[in-house]
A and B are shown apart, each in its own frame.
Chain A
Amino acid sequence: MASIRIDQVRKRFGALQALDGVSLEIANGEFFGLLGPNGAGKTTLISIIAGLARADQGSVRILGHDVVTDFRAARRSIGVVPQELVFDPFFTVRETLRMQSGYFGISANDAWIDEILHELGLTAKADTNMRALSGGMKRRVLVAQALVHKPPVIMLDEPTAGVDVELRQTLWRFIGRLNREGHTVVLTTHYLEEAQALCSRIAMLKTGAVVALDSTAALLKRISGSQLVVRLTTGSLPASLHHLLSHTEASLDTRQYTLRVNHHDEVEQILAQIRQSGLAIEDLQLHQADLEDVFIQIMGGRQ
């Protein structure tokens, strides 16, 4: 059975078609990435899965439970880390986590709460009021709240936005462990290197529609080879090299060119041609194509 099954979901806010017939299936145990620019509909989709918003059309099932008609079972199956840094200023960290457990019908949860606190580096803050925590610490509590009921599916909406390196590492170590233990993880992020490193499969969303859905490895294969970034001191690139120009990136710098390179020995030929044209190179970079290049190509390709 699929962990999450999204079927033809549409959602409109006034004149804005936020989701335009999205279908996706996320398998059990996957580490799944949901990527897309701001306004692509990622958070709307997450809200519909979490029951915070309702689809105009289509359906969502979590472990077979419909999020509307069987909302209690669906919500027990999923833990959601919201994007906004929200907290209840009346309570301490431990009170917050105990109450969150209680909402899910779990009474004696201290052993698991202690483990989450430990794993997220919150043990020392357990009896601190939420108001007194730094932004990073509040973010950790948000993650902890999503995990109190040991949900089989964990959904994180940009959990590392504006977060320091230490927390990012702590978070991914813990979430990685949960994923290895069988929890399904769905992640949205703007840090594509993070998605590339963590996610086994990725869906890309653009203006409310899925524009790419594939394994991370297969997506990376779409851009083969590397890119050579050349910055000339004066003049422009010889016409004989124009066919190598990469269209994935619009450069602000008119003297800077990005060229596709399939084999490293092509680099020498390119440099030779530039020299023969009497041009001088100011700066030179060679980089391996990554998920960001794929993302830019896919997002740029259907404007």
Chain B
Amino acid sequence: MTGFRTLLYKELLRFWKVATQTLTAPIVTAMLYLLIFGHVLEDHVQPFPGVSYTAFLVPGLVMMSVLQNAFANSSSSLIQSKITGNLVFILLTPLSHWEMFNAYVLAAMIRGFLVGLGVMLITLLFAKLSFVAPLWIVLFALLGAAILGTMGLIAGIWAEKFDQLAAFQNFLIVPATFLAGVFYSVHSLPPFWLAVSHANPFFYMIDGFRYGFFGYSDVAPLTSLFVVLLFFLVLSSIAVTLLKRGYKLRH
């Protein structure tokens, strides 16, 4: 077994052993959003022609679940290991910065996928979904999960207390996902807030992902893909550099 595969296995086993909290709970939360917002807004809002609000909401909720859980996985694993001190067992080994990066991010992606898949399967009971361009769906889900897994890694490296990590999550990740057009089409916004939304990288992840379902999007999917790819490259080079330098990990 290589070091990378072991670390990946450990990261998967870690969340699998507490699946109620790491998989079931976020799926239930997403269901609640769907039931409540779908019930309240179904008859009032039609974001795209011929697409019901509930159907519009599903891809947004799926992607939000993928993103938030990918972030939660790498960030909480790292901060827990740092605070309890057992990160030393990884730092003492010949694992390279690339192996650590790949294992943490891939495990985060897999958790995000499992939650997203769970949300999607259950929502199929409530809403009729179309899958116009499945490849785009997979591509954006992959990239979105990788980006948030990487952000989780960076946040986990940077944070020294659970408190700081919670701030990162509550003041950055949650607003950025909520304001990225999960619950609405950004074209319904006044011009100023539309421009702000376009500056939010999370918007492109969700917009591109939704395009795969309906063939409609607020911006061209290729534009979204470019923005999302660029964002991932920047973040992953930051994360790999931090790991290589041992920033806040090796003193």
Contact = CB atoms under 8 A, between A and B. Distances in A.
Interface of A: 13, 47, 50-54, 71-73, 75-76, 80, 82, 84, 86-91, 95, 99-107, 145
A10 to B, nearest CB: 14
Interface centre among B3, B90, B91, B94 (most CB of A within 10 A): B94
Contacts of B188: none
A88 B6 contact: no
A13 B84 CA distance: 22
Contact of B250 (A54, A72, A84): A54
Nearest to A72: B94
A47 B91 CA distance: 11
Given A47-B251, A54-B251, A102-B6, A88 B89 contact: yes
Nearest to B88: A82
B167 interface: no
B14 interface: yes
A87 B88 CA distance: 9
A145 B89 contact: yes
Given A102-B5, A104-B3, A52 B91 contact: yes
A102 B12 CA distance: 15
A105 B9 contact: no
Given A89-B84, A104-B93, A107-B1, 7 more contacts: A51-B250, A52-B92, A90-B13, A90-B17, A103-B95, A105-B2, A106-B1
Contacts of B17: 90
B223 interface: no
20 contacts: A47-B251, A51-B250, A52-B250, A72-B94, A72-B96, A75-B93, A86-B88, A88-B84, A89-B84, A90-B13, A90-B18, A91-B10, A101-B6, A102-B3, A102-B5, A102-B6, A102-B7, A103-B6, A103-B95, A105-B3
B86 interface: yes
Interface of B: 1-3, 5-7, 9-10, 13-14, 17-18, 81, 84-86, 88-96, 246, 250-251
B94 A53 contact: no
B126 to A, nearest CB: 35
Nearest to A82: B88
Given A104-B93, A105-B2, A105-B3, A54 B84 contact: no
A223 B251 CA distance: 39
A145 B93 CA distance: 11
A101 B10 CA distance: 12
A75 to B, nearest CB: 5
A53 B251 contact: yes
Given A84-B85, A87-B86, A91-B13, A103 B250 contact: no
B94 A76 contact: yes
A99 B95 CA distance: 12
Contact of A75 (B1, B2, B81, B92): B92
B250 A100 contact: no
B1 A100 contact: no
